A and B are shown apart, each in its own frame.
Chain A
Amino acid sequence: MSRIRAVIRHLLGSQETGLSLVVLLLAVALTVLAGSHVDRRTGELVNNFLNSNTLIQTATDASFFAIMAIGATVVIISGGIDLSVGAIYALSGVSMALTLRAAGPLGSGAAVALGLVVALGVGLLCGVLNGALVVGLRVHPFIVTLGTMWVLRGVAFVITHAESLLVPSALTAVTKASLGLGGGLYPVPMVCMLVMTAAGAIYLTRTVMGRHIFAFGGNLEASRFAGLRLDRIQIGVYAVSGITAGLAAFLGASFYGSSSSADGQGYELYVIAAAVVGGASLIGGKGSAVGAMLGAILIVLIRQSIRTLHFDQNYEWIVIGCAIIIAVVVDQWSTRLAARRLMRAGARTQAAA
């Protein structure tokens, strides 16, 4: 009984619960305000937001950002930053498309496997490169990844000659599989997002490496004295970020059927925003995979609301920018309040003693 109570207390007290409530609240508001239209196929009146197509489409839109945001969160927990995820996304996608083009006709399974291996492999290589540069050059990750952002996008541009490359239809068939839902519903990216979130949560909270990342980001000196292999941790977090960008690129290029060097421009900002809105602290030591996913969903939901409610969409950047600033500022306030409460409690205990 007490264990159940502890679990409930933990759930109620978690930041993810608050974020889930906000997402739910926004969804309810959208449902109420969205209006409705007659579905062409069934002739039934359907809500403009609360319908399976819009919900899965919103989750699909969020999935690419969310998967990358999980990787970005791992980096941010370690106290780093990765500005190159958008460029890794582009390079992984075009490398996959070029490899599949060079490989010629392949069976469906082989094409999907080769595409996945190439996208993940390129993402991993780029991530390791970022990590190695940060560790080897002792330069701030912001500068290193700002540089690699341009370098990697430049490589993508040079190897594609600015062409938009089609990917084999076998890949599109996999990422646009209806999984029995039918009716133009494509849940595969959403399923991948959920699986990656679960994997990210387990990695961060249930593995030794995950705990080391929190320790590294939370207190570098303590981690050093504890004998943690700091260089390996740092390279590892950028490798994870690269892999998630590679996976997102595989899903994105396959889902939309093509890849180009211009893909993913500006995505790094959405990805970092999703991680921060999801509770990751830019000074390190704090963040979660579930929060990153919810942050991505919230940002996409805000974008969706502008469309669904027929607002002037030129205000999209203002709304998202305000939401991010408010999220970070309020989070800082609450952290300071919590610290003050702890100090007061400590002082009271001392006085009582």
Chain B
Amino acid sequence: MIMGTVRRMSGVMVAGLAALAVTATLACGHRENAPAGAAAAKHSNKITIAMIAKSSTNPVFLAARTGAEAAAKELSARDSIDVEVQWLTPPEEDGQVQAQRIQQAVNGGADAILISCSDASKVTGAIDDAVNRGVVVMTFDSDAPQSKRFAYYGVDDMKTGQTTMAELAKLMDGKGKVAILAGNQNAPNLQKRVQGAKDEAAKYPGIQIVGTFNHIETPQDAAAEVTRVDNAYPGIQGWAMIGGWALFTRSLLSDLDPARMKIVSVDALPAQLAYVDKGITPVLLAQPVYKWGYVGVTTIVEKLHDGKQPPEIIPMDLVRVTKDNLGPWARQLKAWGFSDVPQQYLDMK
């Protein structure tokens, strides 16, 4: 009977133990500064910051992580404290999972949370719970303004949309058909940028918006959407891209004619630099994404360690990237940890 019982149980047991083994293997190979046992007890000179960006598959948030870890290292050395950044970003955008990660961070003993909200209304309750339990929360990139977070660091999304369209209108001498590439239709920060772009376009009687086009936020989906729209609306002369996804591919380099088409795009990551060089995208409006992490961690440490009270809104300025400053910007990206910056741009003056 015992053998029979063991046999019947063996399937699930082995499966579970195998999962445990896989987990344990990863523990050996990929454990990230894990505290162990009583040694994990918090000391007064240790600050643990849980960083929850929107998606760990988006390169801009990986740059933000690099910035956060650099700031943690610098501040640890400067102030003789131990600043640890725990990366708790979900693999895909999901407000509910972010709310769960906030709870996990609080239960795990984090002192602070640095978050870019996928869905502000979904995480506001969790942020408020965290603050009520003594954990300070700061937002970056995408805010939760109704929550108890103490500060927000990021661009003014409405202004970003306006600037994108204003730059495009300037390139097109204030006339022509344009389209707006808008990413995830559920993201409130992108909705604001689209509104800003539309408001700005209304100032130019010669500019006609043929449509606002959403897509799954992957480079391939974005580039495919641009191609589809270009085929469907042959008269389009300009694109206002309020996110840079489509230009993370190389396909549009050959598909778009710089003599016929002008693009102004938010973001200026390594893959986008070729579009500036070729003249398809004369202007990129870069968010210094590294600073999301760097400024975020610095602000939190200064609040917790030095008792400084920052302003509630810390504005991030866009950097205008053109052919004139392509070299310095490429070197800046390299310094921020981007490993795929083409050498030809690094060599530019």
- Where the two chains meet, the residues of A that have a C-beta atom closer than 8 Å to any C-beta of B are 9, 12-15, 17-19, 21-23, 25-26, 29, 33, 35-41, 45-46, 48, 51, 53-54, 57, 60-61, 157, 162, 164-166, 172, 176, 184, 252, 255-258, 260-263, 265-266, 277, 279, 298, 302, 304-319, 322-323, 326-327, 330-331, 333-335, 337-338
Contact = CB atoms under 8 A, between A and B. Distances in A.
Q: How large is the interface on B (under 10, 10 to 19, 20 to 34, 35 or more residues)?
A: 35 or more
A106 to B, nearest CB: 20
Given A18-B11, A45-B41, A162 B107 contact: no
Contacts of B176: none
Nearest to A298: B16
A12 B9 CA distance: 8
Contacts of B42: 37-38
B19 interface: yes
B125 interface: yes
Given A35-B36, A322-B19, 13 more contacts: A13-B9, A15-B8, A15-B11, A18-B9, A18-B12, A22-B15, A35-B40, A38-B41, A172-B125, A257-B121, A298-B19, A305-B23, A311-B26
21 contacts: A18-B9, A35-B35, A36-B40, A37-B35, A40-B134, A48-B108, A54-B104, A60-B103, A157-B185, A164-B95, A164-B119, A164-B188, A260-B122, A302-B23, A310-B32, A311-B31, A311-B32, A319-B23, A319-B26, A326-B14, A327-B12
Contacts of A338: 7-8
B19 A323 contact: yes
A330 B15 contact: yes
B94 interface: yes
A57 B35 CA distance: 21
Contact of A313 (B33, B89, B119, B186): B89
Contacts of B8: 13-15, 18, 334, 338
Given A25-B17, A51-B107, A307 B133 contact: no
B106 interface: yes
Contacts of A333: 11
B contact patch SS:
helix
B337 interface: no
A109 B311 CA distance: 41
Contacts of B186: 162, 164, 260-262
Interface in B286-320: none
Q: Closest 10 CB pairs between A and B?
A: A22-B16, A37-B109, A35-B40, A258-B121, A323-B19, A18-B9, A327-B15, A334-B11, A310-B34, A18-B12
A167 B106 CA distance: 25
B288 to A, nearest CB: 24
Contact of A306 (B17, B23, B92): B23
Contacts, number: 235
Contacts of B201: none
A312 B30 contact: yes
A23 B19 CA distance: 11
Contacts of B91: 313-314, 316-317
A316 B14 CA distance: 20
A244 B185 CA distance: 28
A19 B126 CA distance: 31
Contacts of A337: 7
A308 B109 CA distance: 10
Given A162-B185, A256-B125, A15 B16 contact: no
- Counting chain A CB atoms within 10 Å of each CB, which of B4, B20, B33, B120 scores highest? B20
